[in-house]
Structure 1
Amino acid sequence: MNSHLPNEARVFPLRPHGVRPSGAPPRQAPPAPAGKEPLWRDLVGDVLRRERLKQERTLKDVADEARISMPYLSEVERGRKEASSEVLAAAAHALGLNLGDLLTRAQGELVRLTSRQVPGGGRATRARTGASHDGMCLAA
């Protein structure tokens, strides 16, 4: 007769765990691009989250005050959504910042991260290459 319980699934593996088909090369993760610059949405989200946590406030509290949905604010904080300037301004104001404060902090983080990735990324390198991170330019 049947030796297993009526609601119990029986699994038959097609090949034993960890065994690769013959001739298949081992799977490797694709190499990460060296020196990849961070995305603006990640930087802005990090600034929002750090400020919210510093103030010991919940996502719900800040989202309610900013009049945006809590799931959307969470997505913005995690860098999953590219928020409009209106949403960013509302979230910043809910945290007691203005939009300029938020963007300046994100820009500072961008400079800090990118100057670390470029060999010799100090002021001398910027002077040689003509690159300057002393200003901010946003394009839509």
Structure 2
Amino acid sequence: MSPHPQDEARVIPLRPGNTPSRTGATPSAGTPGRPLPDAPAEPREPLWRDLVGDTLRRERRAQERTLKDVAEAARISMPYLSEVERGRKEASSEVLAAAARALGLGLPDLLSLAQDELARRAVRSRPVRGRAVPGGGRYDGLCLAA
């Protein structure tokens, strides 16, 4: 027999914070319900939209430009660009390319900077496993050579 009743939906939160109950309400809302089991104490994987947004914001601030200035140059709304920078919106490649161009970058440059940030965060948050490889790197898997 399943531990979850058939008539209740299981809600998995995307961001830490108030943990919703199995009925979908947060405990602070006062709705009775069983809370979900606590998530493991592992660091949260960074989301791509957060990385890209952080990169856009960092580049804009490094150029000492306002949100309004970059939004106008990119021809996107200022509130939308703000949401993208805060990782609240998953921007299309067209929007990202326009924002990158407004900052004097190409889309590959923006994505490369975001990928560098992802690699930096992954190294910092992940326990080191696997064996050393030439050049000081590490790997965690099987390598087949022909």
TM over 0.5, yes or no? yes
Match for 1:65 among 70, 73, 81?
73
Runs of 4+ in 1 over 6 A off after TM superposition: none
| Residue 129 (structure 1) shift | 2.7
Instruction: Output the amino acid matched with 2:106.
Output: N
> What's the TM-score once normalised by structure 1's chain length?
0.66
* 8 Å Cα contact 2:54-2:86 kept in structure 1: yes
> What's the TM-score once normalised by structure 2's chain length?
0.63
* 8 Å Cα contact 2:130-2:141 kept in structure 1: no
In structure 2, list runs of 5 or more residues that go unmatched. 1-37
Residues 116/129 of structure 1: CA separation in 2 closer, same or farther (3 Å cut): farther
| Residue 117 (structure 1) shift | 1.2
Which has more radius of gyration? 1
2:27 aligns with none
Q: Distance in 1 between matches of 2:52 and 2:131?
A: 24
Query: 1:84-140 deviations in whole A, cap 9, x for unaligned?
Result: 000000000000000000000000000110111111269837423359xxxxxxxxx
SS for the counterpart of 1:129 is coil
1:88 aligns with 96
* Number of equivalences: 102
| Residue 66 (structure 1) shift | 0.1
* 8 Å Cα contact 2:52-2:85 kept in structure 1: yes
* 8 Å Cα contact 2:43-2:125 kept in structure 1: yes
2:19 aligns with none
| Residue 36 (structure 1) shift | 1.9
SS for the counterpart of 1:97 is coil
SS for the counterpart of 1:72 is helix
1:1-140 matched pairs, under 5 angstroms: 33-120=41-128, 124=132, 126-129=138-141
Q: Distance in 2 between matches of 1:123 and 1:38?
A: 25
- Percent of aligned positions with the same letter in both sequences? 69
Residues 123/94 of structure 1: CA separation in 2 closer, same or farther (3 Å cut): farther
Q: Distance in 1 between matches of 2:131 and 2:102?
A: 35
| Residue 35 (structure 1) shift | 2.6
114-123 or 57-66, larger mean C-alpha shift:
114-123
Structure with larger RCO (C-alpha < 8 A, sep 6+): 1
**Aligned-pair RMSD on alpha carbons?**
2.3
